[in-house]
Structure 1
Amino acid sequence: MRYVGKAVESAFFPKLMGTYEKELHGIWYRQIAAASSRWVVNIGAAEGYYAVGLLFSKATTTIICFEESAVGQSLIRALAAKNGITAGLEVRGRCDSAALRACLAQSGVPAFVLCDIEGGELDVLTIEQVPQLARCEMLVEVHESVLPGIGTTLVDRFGATHQASKHLPQLRVESDLPNHSSYWRILPTGYALGLMDELRSPIDYWLHFVPRGGK
């Protein structure tokens, strides 16, 4: 996949190297293998790494992006154009619970919800305001560094409807360097490891929620 020249509030080089959020690769491999027709709703889409990438890999046919930054919205469209994505992508602005509820009602079937909004997940992801979430698979970046205890709150909130698994950030090591390009492997090891560093807070992590009883 071809890429744009910068990232929005996230690490740039790991996306070029294919190591970005490698802790989640297993989840995305399953999504790609399923060639799912369900919608993916990407809340906090930044410049479109996941939105365009999932369409490019044919892991889904429809992506709804919520991104409040005008720069991010422009980059999503530019990234889609660079990779020949002309259908299946819709870019919207800021997401709140009402916007998410309307989006999921529009989809008609349970969607896959990807959420990374720096602590805003506590307000947006609520079954009381968005009842469709009870049947949606969700992958949420949890920002304990912003709101301590938010992960426990989310697990408790969805405990009756979802099984949750926790994915912790991992240090990058030399074996993580991509095999698809010799360019990265000719760099000094320390420099390459530095490029893979996503500069994450060590107390932030991800929660993967799967509806009980299947999707």
Structure 2
Amino acid sequence: MSTPNNGMQTIHAMANFMAEQHPEIMLIMAQKLRLHLSNSLASFHGNRVAHGPFKGLLLGADTHWGEGADRGGMILGLYEQEILNIVDEIPARYRTFIDLGAADGYYGLGMLVNNRFDTSYCYEITERGREVIAANAVLNGVADRVIIRGEATREFYNDLPAEVRDQSLVLVDIEGAEFDLIDAGTFAAFSKAMIVVEIHDWMVENGPEKMAKLQVDAARTHRVTEIKMGARDLSGIPELQSMPDTQRWLLCSENRARVMVWLRFDPIEMDDTPDA
């Protein structure tokens, strides 16, 4: 009969073997643990964001983007914190949020729950994603403030009134298609808007050159700031204080293939204009 100690030795031996011979399986197991932790946090908080600028946002049980493993980070206000940090810096004159690649509506609806923005335009290419956004908008009581649209075409901005464009924050996260969608015409159309683009230069041919062209196209109308994925401070989150380090930091993971980069474009025209 094996003793508990012998059982643990066997588990450690198996773990060592898997780590050495099949590291890809260990990554899958880590992702499964991350999903389990996220589901536990979601259950504890009733699927409601508990920290950060989107506090109070209800996340629907149904998901379109990913398998829900990001939910823990969203609830804790950690997910894409680099973007969340921008929310507190947005000038008050911006009242419309435009989300290209809206997925489940985390940003499109999160920007509305605390009345930071009046209206959201959510562009989502998949029908399933649009259905989830619509359901989550009803869940959060903001359906009358969300305009849901399909794929954003090259000159999507022509469908938006000039006064809407001028008071907008535009977020672009379309998995490499940003280089085909955004050009000098886009920046000119949004010359008074703030634009944030998640960069996927490694996913496309000649990515670095296309990233450089994006900045050249913006030069006449916008100042550009590069933002890289940074550190997370977990010390102020009460529900993580008694959690083991490995699990706590795993909740910070976004399962990225590499360190992410965003480009923030601030309008030159508005540099010397006082906030309303």
The normalised TM-score by structure 1 is 0.86
Whether 2:118 is the aligned partner of 1:61: answer: yes
Counting only pairs closer than 5 Å after superposition, residues 98-177 of structure 1 correspond to structure 2 as 98-105=155-162, 107=164, 109-128=166-185, 131-147=188-204, 148-149=207-208, 150-172=210-232, 175-176=233-234
Change in 2 beyond 3 A, CA 1:7/1:178: farther
Cα-Cα RMSD = 2.3
Change in 2 beyond 3 A, CA 1:29/1:131: same
Change in 2 beyond 3 A, CA 1:200/1:168: same
Whether 2:56 is the aligned partner of 1:4: answer: no
- Which secondary structure state, in structure 2, belongs to the residue aligned with residue 191 of structure 1? helix
1:198 matched residue in structure 2: 254
Moved more, 143-152 or 84-93: 143-152
Distance in 1 (alpha carbons) for counterparts of 2:236 and 2:106: 17
Residue of 207, 210, 213 corresponding to 2:263: 207
Percent identical residues: 24
Change in 2 beyond 3 A, CA 1:186/1:72: farther
Whether 2:75 is the aligned partner of 1:19: answer: no
Residue of 102, 105, 121 corresponding to 1:45: 102
Unpaired runs of at least 5, structure 1? none
- Ranked by relative contact order (alpha carbons within 8 Å, sequence separation 6 or more), the top structure is 1
2:134 partner amino acid: R
| CA displacement 1:59-101 (0-9 Å, x = unmatched) | 1101111001122112212222222213211111111123233
Moved more, 124-133 or 108-117: 124-133
Moved more, 99-108 or 159-168: 99-108
Moved more, 1-10 or 116-125: 1-10
Give the conservation status (yes or no) of the 8 Å contact 1:36–1:60: no
Identify the structure with the greater helix proportion: 2
> What is the number of residues matched between the two proteins?
209
- Which secondary structure state, in structure 1, belongs to the residue aligned with residue 256 of structure 2? coil
Give the conservation status (yes or no) of the 8 Å contact 2:112–2:142: yes
2:197 partner amino acid: V
Moved more, 184-193 or 40-49: 184-193
Q: Give the deviation of 1:201 after TM superposition.
A: 3.1
Q: Give the deviation of 1:108 after TM superposition.
A: 5.9
Q: Give the deviation of 1:36 after TM superposition.
A: 4.3
Give the conservation status (yes or no) of the 8 Å contact 1:80–1:86: yes
Larger radius of gyration: 2
